[in-house]
Amino acid sequence: MAIEVIGFGGGCHWCTEAVFAALKGVGRVEQGFIRSEPPDDGWSEAVRLGFDPGEIDREVLIKVHLRTHASTSNHSMRGKYRSAVYVTDAAQGAAVRETLAQLQAGFERPLVTRVLSLAGFRASGERFRNYHEKQAGGPFCTRFIDPKLHMLQAAFASHLR
């Protein structure tokens, strides 16, 4: 089994971590901050994950990502919450670009999600990791994370653990 590494950023990394941790085939989800190459070398909230392409297709991960954050909004918080798929090499980048181009047809507005190199990762502090597990039922989880997980149940049930 060859594990593939990829990063996703777009919204709060607490939410993003819970979303990807719920999927079969995703073995490791690391919540934190990712930077790319200049001019995108500022740290932005994101997750880095390892997945088994034999269990879950990269395209499914990208579809989940696009549907669980504001992937068509170029809002004022994009510095902190950069909408991106962070790739580890040129081949992965080309495949992700092609997938995004194909998926664009499913959105009324243009996707703002970019394909960037994963140049650095810095993990969140331990107290913030596995936030949904530790804070289940709390106000942030019920307002922001749980609706994303309910959407996953409705639209991606066959891919959930």
Query: Which pTM value belongs to this model?
Result: 0.95
> CATH code for 4-159?
3.30.1060.10
- The four Cα atoms 111, 115, 116, 122 give a dihedral, to 10 degrees, of 70
Each residue's pLDDT expressed in tens, for the chain with a length of 161 residues? 689 999 999 989 999 999 999 999 999 999 999 999 999 999 999 999 999 999 999 999 999 999 999 999 988 888 789 999 999 999 999 999 999 999 999 999 999 999 999 999 999 999 889 989 999 999 999 999 999 999 999 999 999 99
Q: Are 118 and 86 in contact (CB under 8 A)?
A: yes
Per-domain boundaries in the chain: 4-159
C-beta of residue 6 within 8 angstroms of C-beta of residue 85: yes
